[in-house]
C-alpha cells in the first residue's frame, strides 16, 4: 500500500484520547515520522484549517483547559478555533514536530451525533417579515445598511442579531452597570452656548494626535475579541480606519494577531497599541519591541485593570471559546466558568505600579507612552510629572469599578489641575505637549465636541465600532465613521465653530455636569437590563 501524501482522516479519528494503547497496525500511516511508533495508538490530534496537529502534550498547557480540545479530539476543530484565535496561534504554540501536515481531503469521518446537543450560543433571529408572532410580538428583520442613521442604530441591530456570547461580552458592564450608563448620560448634562453670524461656509474638523494627522478628533479605541462579532475580526476596523484617515488603537486581546492588523494597514497609516502588562515582564518587553519595529506610534498602557471587574451579564454566559491571541501564544491558563472577560485576562499583572513606568517608557523608545485608565486629577498630574506623554481618562467603558466617575465629569478638574501646574496650555513650558484623551459612552459628534471644548485632544470610541463591525462588517465601520463626519460638519456649523480651535470652553455650560439624574434616551432604549437568575426569555 502506498501512503498518500498527508494524514488520513481515519487515522486522525483514532487519536481521540489522552490514553495510549498498544496495538499492532501493519499498515499504519506515519506522517513525516512524527505520529508515534508502530504498535502505539492514542493521543489527541485535531484538524485546523485543513492541517493536522498532535496536541497531546499541549492539553494541560492550553489556556482554555484540556476540555475544549478533548471535545474536538480526532475531529475538525476549525469552527471552534476560528472565532477567537488568529490563524497562526496553533503554529506558534506547538513544536514543529507536532505539525503533522495536511489532511487528505474527504477522509475524515463525520463527527458522532450527540444524543444531547449543546445548547445554542445565539438566539436564532427570524429574518423573514415583521409579521406578528404569538402574543403580538414581531419578528425582527435586519435593516439594510442604508437605513442606519446613527451609532445608536448599530447597537440596536447588534442587540437583536448577535450571538448571545458576543453580545453579552461586548455589552456588559461592572456590577449594576451604573458607571457604564453614566459614561453616556453625563454628556446630556453639558449644554452648548452656540455663537451666531460666524462664517461657517467651510468647516474643518481635522485634528492631530501627538502630531499625527487625523480627519477628526476621534480614534478607534481598543476592544477585545473582535471575532465574537465578525469572522474577519479587527482587520475590519483597520481597513475602515485607513479609508477615513483615523487612528486605530490595536488591542492586546484581539482575535486577530497584531501582525495581521499591521499588515492590513495602508502605507503611512498610523496605529497605536493598547498594552496590558504581563506578570512576565520579558513577554511585555518583547511585545513593545515588536510594536516599535512594526512602526506603532504610541503605546497606551492600561492601568485600571489590576483585576477584572465583575461583569455579571458576561459571567452568566460560560466561556465556550478559547483564548485571545496573546494568551494563546503565551500558554496562559485561565478559568472558563466566569465569562469571556475573566477567561482572557488571567495574565495581567496586579502588581504594576508607578515604579515600573520608567522601564516601560525606556522599552518604548521613540513611541509616545500614555496611561489609559486615569480616574482622578491627582493621578493625571503624577502621570505628567513622571514623564508620560499623555493620559486617557477612562473607567474601561464602565466594566471595572462600578461608581467610578464618568471621564467627562472629571475632565474639567483634570485639565484645570494640569494647567495650573504647567503641564498643559503653557507655551513657555519646554518639551512636547501633554495630551488628554477620554473614552466611554460616546455616541454622537456632539459628545466629542463637548470633550474638545473642555480640553481633550481626542476621544476614543469602542463599542459603537464593534457593533458596526458585528452587524455589517467593514462597510458598517466605514458607515459609522462617515456618520460621525456628517455630524461634525452639521454641528460645528450650528455651533458657530469653523474649526476645532474655535470649540472653546465658553461654548459649553457645565453647571449641571455634576448633577446625575436619569433620563430616557436612545441609549436607554438600547440598554439591556439583566434578567433575574433563572429567568428564561421567550424565543
CATH code where residue 272 lies: 3.20.20.70
Question: Between these two residues, 292 and 18, which has the higher pLDDT value?
Answer: 292
Asked if the structure places residue 389 within a domain, the reply is yes
Catalytic residue among 396, 402, 447, 467: 396
Same-domain status, 288 and 379: yes
Structural domain includes residue 417? yes
Residue 479 pLDDT greater than 50, yes or no: yes
**pLDDT value, residue 345:** 55
Domain membership of residue 17 (yes or no) is no
Of 304, 314, 402, 447, which is the active-site residue?
304
| Rama region for 465: left / alpha / beta (φ>0; ψ in -120 to 50; rest) | alpha
| Residues 61 and 156 both lie in one domain | no
Whether 87 and 149 map to the same domain: the answer is no
DSSP secondary structure, 214-228, as one string: ESSSEEE---S-GGG
Q: Residue 48: what pLDDT?
A: 86
Same domain, 151 and 38: no
- The domain that contains 83 carries what CATH number? 3.10.120.10
Residue with the bigger pLDDT between 343 and 271: it is 271
Mean pLDDT taken over the chain? 84
119-176 residue pLDDT tens? 434 333 434 345 455 555 578 999 999 999 999 999 999 999 999 989 999 999 999 9
Show the domain range for 495.
145-308+345-509
For strand 191-192 and strand 207-209, is the pairing parallel, antiparallel, or unpaired? unpaired
Is the residue at 527 inside a domain? no
The pLDDT assigned to 173 comes to: 94
pLDDT tens digits for range 197-247: 999 999 999 999 999 999 999 999 999 999 999 999 999 999 999 999 999
Is residue 196 domain-shared with residue 47, that is, in the same domain?
no
Contact 235, 260 (CB under 8 A): yes
Same-domain status, 423 and 485: yes
- What number is the average pLDDT over the span 255-259? 95
Does 169 map to a domain? yes
Q: Which cell is 253 given? A: 486581546
| Percent of the chain residues topping a pLDDT of 90 | 60
- For CA atoms 94, 98, 101, 105, the dihedral sign is negative
Q: Are residues 169 and 41 in the same domain?
A: no
Question: How many residues make up the chain in this entry?
Answer: 539
Q: Can you read off the three cell numbers belonging to residue 537?
A: 426569555
Domain boundary among 102, 137, 160: 102
The answer to whether residue 296 is domain-embedded is yes
Percentage of residues in the chain having pLDDT higher than 70? 78
pLDDT tens figures, 62-120: 645 566 678 788 898 887 776 666 666 677 678 888 898 899 988 988 877 654 444 43
- Helices within 41-177 (DSSP H only): 66-71, 78-81, 89-93, 151-161, 164-171
Give tens-digit pLDDT for 302-347: 999 998 888 887 887 755 544 444 444 555 544 544 555 555 556 7
In a domain, 231, yes or no: yes
Among the options 187, 205, 219, 276, which is catalytic? Answer: 276
Q: Where are the beta strands (DSSP E) in 89-235?
A: 99-102, 191-192, 207-209, 212-214, 218-220
**Spatial distance between the Cα atoms of 44 and 13, rounded to a whole number of angstroms:** 9
pLDDT of residue 475: 98
Domain co-membership, 53 together with 166: no
C-alpha to C-alpha distance for 475 and 535, rounded to whole angstroms: 36
**Domain-ending residue, one of 69, 102, 135:** 102
Q: Please determine, for residue 432, whether its predicted confidence score (pLDDT) is greater than 90.
A: no
Based on the fold, state whether residues 239 and 170 are members of the same structural domain: yes
Q: Could you give the angle at which helices 463-495 and 445-453 cross, rounded to 10 degrees?
A: 70
Distance of CA 45 to the CA centre of its chain: 31
396 part of the active site: yes
Residue 23's pLDDT is 43
Q: List % helix, strand, coil for the chain (3-state, nearest 5).
A: 40, 15, 45
Confidence of residue 265 (pLDDT cuts 50, 70, 90): very high
Count of domains in the chain?
Answer: 2
Are residues 300 and 176 located together in one domain of the fold?
Answer: yes
Q: Which of 74, 102, 130 is the last residue of a domain?
A: 102
Query: What sign for the dihedral angle of Cα 443, 444, 448, 454?
Result: negative
Same domain for 98 and 157?
no
In sequence order, the 6+-apart residues with CB closer than 8 A to the CB of 370 are 298, 299, 300, 301, 388, 389, 390, 391, 392, 435, 437
- Residues 254 and 199 grouped into a single domain: yes
Which residue reads 467610578 in cell numbers?
404
Mean pLDDT of 467-493: 98
Give this prediction's pTM. 0.79
> Has residue 3 been placed in a domain?
no
Q: What is the pLDDT of residue 135?
A: 54
> Distance between CA 457 and CA 160 in Å, rounded?
35
Amino acid at each position: 500500500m502506498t501512503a498518500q501524501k498527508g494524514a488520513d482522516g481515519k487515522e486522525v479519528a483514532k487519536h481521540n484520547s489522552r490514553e495510549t494503547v498498544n496495538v499492532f497496525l501493519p499498515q499504519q500511516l506515519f506522517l513525516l515520522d512524527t505520529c508515534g511508533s508502530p504498535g502505539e495508538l492514542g493521543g489527541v490530534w485535531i484538524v485546523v484549517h485543513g492541517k493536522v496537529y498532535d496536541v497531546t502534550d499541549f492539553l494541560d498547557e492550553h489556556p482554555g483547559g484540556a476540555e475544549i480540545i478533548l471535545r474536538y479530539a480526532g475531529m475538525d476543530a476549525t469552527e471552534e478555533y476560528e472565532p477567537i484565535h488568529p490563524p497562526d496561534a496553533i503554529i506558534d504554540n506547538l513544536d514543529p514536530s507536532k505539525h503533522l501536515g495536511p489532511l487528505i481531503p474527504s477522509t475524515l469521518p463525520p463527527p458522532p451525533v450527540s444524543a444531547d446537543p449543546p445548547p445554542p450560543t445565539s438566539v436564532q433571529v427570524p429574518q423573514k417579515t415583521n409579521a406578528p408572532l404569538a402574543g403580538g410580538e414581531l419578528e425582527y428583520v435586519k435593516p439594510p445598511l442604508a437605513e442606519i442613521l446613527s451609532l445608536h442604530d448599530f447597537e440596536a441591530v447588534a442587540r437583536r442579531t448577535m450571538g448571545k456570547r458576543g453580545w453579552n461580552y461586548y455589552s456588559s458592564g461592572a456590577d449594576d452597570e451604573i458607571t457604564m450608563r453614566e459614561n453616556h448620560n453625563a454628556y446630556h448634562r453639558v449644554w452648548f452656548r452656540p455663537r451666531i453670524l460666524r462664517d461657517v461656509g467651510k468647516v474643518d474638523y481635522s485634528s492631530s494626535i501627538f502630531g499625527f494627522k487625523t480627519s477628526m478628533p476621534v480614534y478607534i479605541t481598543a476592544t477585545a475579541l473582535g471575532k465574537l462579532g465578525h469572522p474577519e475580526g479587527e482587520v475590519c476596523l483597520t481597513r475602515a480606519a485607513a479609508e477615513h484617515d483615523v487612528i486605530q488603537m490595536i488591542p492586546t486581546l484581539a482575535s486577530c494577531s497584531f501582525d495581521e492588523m499591521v499588515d492590513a494597514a495602508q502605507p503611512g497609516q498610523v496605529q497605536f497599541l493598547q498594552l496590558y502588562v504581563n506578570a512576565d515582564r520579558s513577554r511585555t518587553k518583547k511585545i513593545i519591541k515588536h510594536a516599535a519595529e512594526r512602526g506603532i506610534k504610541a503605546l497606551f498602557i492600561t492601568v485600571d485593570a489590576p483585576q477584572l471587574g465583575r461583569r455579571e451579564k458576561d459571567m452568566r454566559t460560560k466561556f465556550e471559546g478559547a483564548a485571545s491571541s496573546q494568551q494563546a501564544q503565551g500558554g496562559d491558563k485561565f478559568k472558563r466558568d466566569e465569562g469571556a472577560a475573566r477567561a482572557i485576562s488571567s495574565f495581567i499583572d496586579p502588581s504594576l505600579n508607578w515604579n515600573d513606568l520608567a522601564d516601560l517608557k525606556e522599552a518604548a523608545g521613540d513611541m509616545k507612552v500614555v496611561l489609559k485608565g486615569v480616574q482622578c486629577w491627582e493621578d493625571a498630574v503624577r502621570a505628567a510629572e513622571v514623564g508620560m506623554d499623555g493620559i486617557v481618562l477612562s473607567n474601561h467603558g464602565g466594566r471595572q469599578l462600578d461608581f467610578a466617575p464618568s471621564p467627562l465629569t472629571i475632565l474639567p478638574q483634570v485639565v484645570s489641575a494640569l494647567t495650573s501646574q504647567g503641564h498643559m496650555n503653557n507655551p513657555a513650558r519646554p518639551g512636547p505637549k501633554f495630551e488628554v484623551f477620554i473614552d466611554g459612552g460616546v455616541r454622537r459628534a456632539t459628545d466629542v465636541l463637548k470633550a474638545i471644548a473642555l480640553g481633550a485632544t481626542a476621544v476614543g470610541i469602542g463599542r459603537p465600532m464593534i457593533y458596526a463591525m458585528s452587524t455589517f462588517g467593514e462597510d458598517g465601520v466605514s458607515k459609522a465613521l462617515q456618520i460621525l463626519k456628517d455630524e461634525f460638519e452639521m454641528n460645528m456649523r450650528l455651533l458657530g465653530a469653523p474649526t476645532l480651535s474655535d470649540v472653546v470652553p465658553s461654548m459649553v455650560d457645565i453647571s449641571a455636569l455634576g448633577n446625575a439624574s436619569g433620563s430616557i434616551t436612545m441609549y436607554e432604549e438600547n440598554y439591556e437590563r439583566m434578567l433575574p437568575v433563572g429567568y428564561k426569555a421567550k424565543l
